[in-house]
């Protein structure tokens, strides 16, 4: 199935007529047209219309009605619907994986991996649908019972980024749905087609089960649609993934109305390589972390902090490994890295390169914008490595490109300090066979990130854990563990089954 037209057909995409969808109903929005270009070959795949305020309000009204029905469906039954969605995703894995790869530019392996991540979260959510546990507490009063329970929140808004155009939405949507919420998704304007494809898959399940429209909605659009969601008090939770700049704007608007937001923003992820590391696993771990998704994961490895004794060896090994990387059409086998998302991303890569040079960085694997032949779309770059100081302004910022920084250290305490000395706090790891070093890295004086790994790279987290990070990464946690609690409201209830009314704290109040 390599013909893209065939892929679009098999996913039921009618891009010209979509953009806005409440599940059963889809319509062209009255906002601007978004053109979806493939960075792979530069061709325009389709046009998708975006929502104006009127389209948006219509979607929210339908969502509110759907919530009234959906919250009454028992959670395990909601889980069964999500199970069916997972089955549909299994059926469409190949086609959706190809579309992710073609529209976004990541390798087909990673495109398929992304769809697998969606299937995995469906499975997780199905189990969760029978485990939305509350606690019971012992009351201080006689014949009183105290407990907490979890209720659905309402409408969950989801703003997703181009780099994981479908998986991150599914982490939010699948969990929100088993929790009894309905969702409104604003996909990245750079990857609207994959969103339409997902919506089509979900829609078939909702129709088969005779469920109301509005459980799953899509509103295509740019910043202004994000702002509609952020300012709208009908949105009970707004989960947003993207840059720190976007997160600050969204977080501020949501906070102004004292709403709930869940932010998953930029990372500046480092791998510490100790002198006791097994380099045979450290090297592929670093290279995959740095060039996977062309360095456009929020978990991409950006910095490698290397013990001075092995610094030269590791550097040479990385230079050799980079020499073997194949860059090209991500849909072809054996390609390690595809293009960046668009030409603007290439400009950002070039700007960052200029800043690295200006601040004194030395390239050991040279940067290059690739052109001509298979690189005609203008979106391909060579992954590069530079020796830098951690305090360069450019090293302190997240550049969404395959640029890897090498930094030397002598003592582990120093390495941890360097690793933590950035504004972001998403993912981190250490390669070491020394248990003291590993435990120190994981201790309260170790990594300050939301994710801290040992002998594994910074990217490629499994869905079972809570995903997210500290500091400018935004503090939110999505996906596994107890992240579901973000999607529900907690209610504490105290029940008196005695015939008197004792007050808490022993207060006397007599009439
Ligand atoms: C992201 O880049 O926003 O851990 C998400 C990973 C993937 C998810 C990344 N499972 O790299």
CA of 110 to the centre of ligand 1 (A): 11
Residue pLDDT, tens place only, 20-68: 999 888 888 999 999 999 999 999 998 999 999 999 999 999 999 999 9
CA of 26 to the centre of ligand 1 (A): 30
The answer to whether the CB of 132 falls within 8 A of the CB of 484 is yes
% the chain with pLDDT above 70? 99
The Cα-based distances of 494 to 138, 489, 491, 510 in angstroms read 10, 17, 10, 21
Residue 406 C-alpha from the chain's centroid: 26
Residues with CB under 6 A from ligand 1: 117, 163-164, 168, 241, 297-299, 459-461
Residue 1, pLDDT above cutoff 60:
no
Only one residue has tokens 């906002």, namely: 31
CA of 27 to the centre of ligand 1 (A): 31
- Beta-bridged to residue 145, according to DSSP, are 495
Mutate to test the pocket of ligand 1, among 163, 297, 474 (most ligand atoms within 8 A of CB): 297
> Where is 493: in which H helix or E strand?
strand 488-496
CA of 341 to the centre of ligand 1 (A): 16
Closest CA to 390 of 270, 214, 502: 270
Strands (E), 330-412: 362-365, 368-369, 381-382, 384-387, 403-409
Structure tokens at 218: 């899509």
CATH 3.40.605.10 location in the chain: 4-265+474-492
**Which is more confident, 243 or 16?**
243
CA of 333 to the centre of ligand 1 (A): 22
Give residue 16's pLDDT: 65
Q: Give the ligand 1 atom nearest the CA of 163.
A: 2
Residue 18, pLDDT above cutoff 80:
no
Q: Give the ligand 1 atom nearest the CA of 241.
A: 3
Residues labelled catalytic: 264
Residue 17, pLDDT above cutoff 70:
no
Mutate to test the pocket of ligand 1, among 164, 296, 458 (most ligand atoms within 8 A of CB): 164
Global confidence as pTM: 0.97
Q: Give the ligand 1 atom nearest the CA of 117.
A: 10
Give residue 4's pLDDT: 86
CA of 319 to the centre of ligand 1 (A): 25
The answer to whether the CB of 472 falls within 8 A of the CB of 425 is yes
CATH 3.40.309.10 location in the chain: 269-466
**Tell me, which fold does domain 269-466 have in CATH?**
Aldehyde Dehydrogenase; Chain A, domain 2 (3.40.309)
Mutate to test the pocket of ligand 1, among 461, 468, 483 (most ligand atoms within 8 A of CB): 461
Q: Which residues have C-beta within 8 Å of that of residue 203, sequence separation ≥ 6?
A: 21, 23, 24, 216
Surface-to-core class of residue 210, CB atoms within 10 Å of its CB (0-12 exposed, 13-18 middle, 19+ buried):
exposed
Assign 279 a pLDDT band (cuts: 50, 70, 90): very high
Q: Whose CA is nearest to atom 6 of ligand 1?
A: 460
Residue pLDDT, tens place only, 333-379: 999 999 999 999 999 999 999 999 999 999 999 999 999 999 999 99
Q: Whose CA is nearest to atom 7 of ligand 1?
A: 460
Average pLDDT over residues 428-453: 98
Give residue 5's pLDDT: 86
Give residue 24's pLDDT: 84
CATH tag, 4-265+474-492: 3.40.605.10
CA of 171 to the centre of ligand 1 (A): 11
Residue pLDDT, tens place only, 82-99: 999 999 999 999 999 999
Structure tokens at 390: 């951690």
Average pLDDT, the chain: 96
- Radius of gyration, CA atoms only, the chain: 24
Mutate to test the pocket of ligand 1, among 191, 298, 429 (most ligand atoms within 8 A of CB): 298
Give residue 15's pLDDT: 61
* Own/partner pairs, 321-324, CB within 8 angstroms, 24+ separation: 321/283, 321/284, 321/287, 322/287, 322/365, 322/383, 322/384, 322/385
- Beta-bridged to residue 386, according to DSSP, are 363, 405
Residue pLDDT, tens place only, 162-194: 999 999 999 999 999 999 999 999 999 999 999
Assign 245 a pLDDT band (cuts: 50, 70, 90): very high
């Amino acid at each position: 199935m390599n013909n893209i037209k065939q892929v679009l057909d098999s996913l039921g995409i009618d891009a010209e007529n979509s953009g806005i969808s409440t599940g059963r109903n889809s319509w062209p929005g009255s906002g601007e047209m978004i053109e979806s270009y493939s960075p792979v070959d530069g061709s325009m795949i389709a046009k998708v219309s975006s929502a104006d305020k009127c389209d948006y309000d219509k979607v929210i009204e339908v969502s509110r009605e759907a919530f009234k029905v959906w919250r009454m469906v028992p959670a395990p039954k909601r889980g069964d619907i999500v199970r069916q969605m997972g089955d549909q995703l299994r059926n469409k894995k190949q086609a959706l994986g190809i579309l992710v790869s073609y529209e976004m530019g990541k390798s087909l392996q990673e495109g398929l991996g992304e769809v697998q991540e969606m299937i995995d979260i469906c499975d997780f959510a199905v189990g969760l649908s029978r485990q939305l546990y509350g606690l019971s507490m012992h009351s201080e009063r006689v014949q009183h019972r105290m407990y907490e329970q979890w209720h659905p929140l309402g409408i969950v808004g989801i703003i997703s980024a181009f780099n994981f155009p479908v998986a991150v939405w599914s982490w939010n949507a699948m969990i929100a749905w088993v929790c009894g919420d309905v969702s409104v998704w604003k996909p990245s304007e750079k990857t609207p087609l994959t969103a339409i494809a997902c919506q089509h898959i979900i829609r078939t399940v909702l129709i088969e089960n005779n469920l109301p429209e509005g459980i799953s909605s899509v509103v295509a659009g740019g910043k202004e649609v994000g702002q509609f969601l952020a300012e709208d008090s009908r949105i009970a939770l707004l989960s947003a993934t993207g840059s720190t700049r976007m997160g600050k704007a969204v977080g501020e608007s949501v906070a102004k109305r004292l709403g709930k937001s869940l932010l998953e923003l930029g990372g500046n992820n480092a791998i510490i390589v100790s002198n006791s590391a097994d380099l045979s696993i450290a090297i592929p771990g670093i290279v995959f972390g740095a060039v996977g998704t062309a360095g456009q994961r929020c978990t991409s490895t950006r910095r490698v902090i290397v013990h001075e004794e092995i610094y030269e060896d590791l550097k040479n090994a990385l230079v050799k490994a980079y020499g073997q990387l194949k860059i090209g059409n991500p849909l072809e086998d054996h390609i390690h890295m595809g293009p960046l998302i668009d030409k603007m991303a290439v400009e950002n890569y070039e700007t960052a390169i200029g800043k690295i040079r200006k601040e004194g960085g030395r390239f050991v694997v040279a940067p290059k914008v690739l052109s001509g032949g298979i690189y005609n779309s203008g979106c391909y770059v060579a992954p590069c490595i530079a020796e830098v100081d951690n305090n360069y302004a450019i090293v302190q910022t997240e550049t969404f490109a395959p640029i890897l920084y090498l930094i030397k250290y002598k003592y582990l305490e120093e390495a941890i300090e360097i690793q933590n000395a950035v504004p972001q706090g998403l993912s981190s790891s250490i390669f070491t066979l020394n248990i003291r070093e590993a435990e120190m890295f994981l201790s309260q004086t170790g990594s300050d990130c939301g994710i801290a790994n040992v002998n594994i790279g910074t990217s490629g987290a499994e869905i079972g854990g809570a995903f997210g990070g500290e500091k400018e990464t935004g503090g939110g946690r999505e996906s596994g563990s107890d992240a579901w609690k973000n999607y529900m409201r907690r209610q504490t209830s105290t029940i008196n089954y005695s015939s008197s009314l004792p007050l808490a704290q022993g207060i006397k109040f007599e009439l």
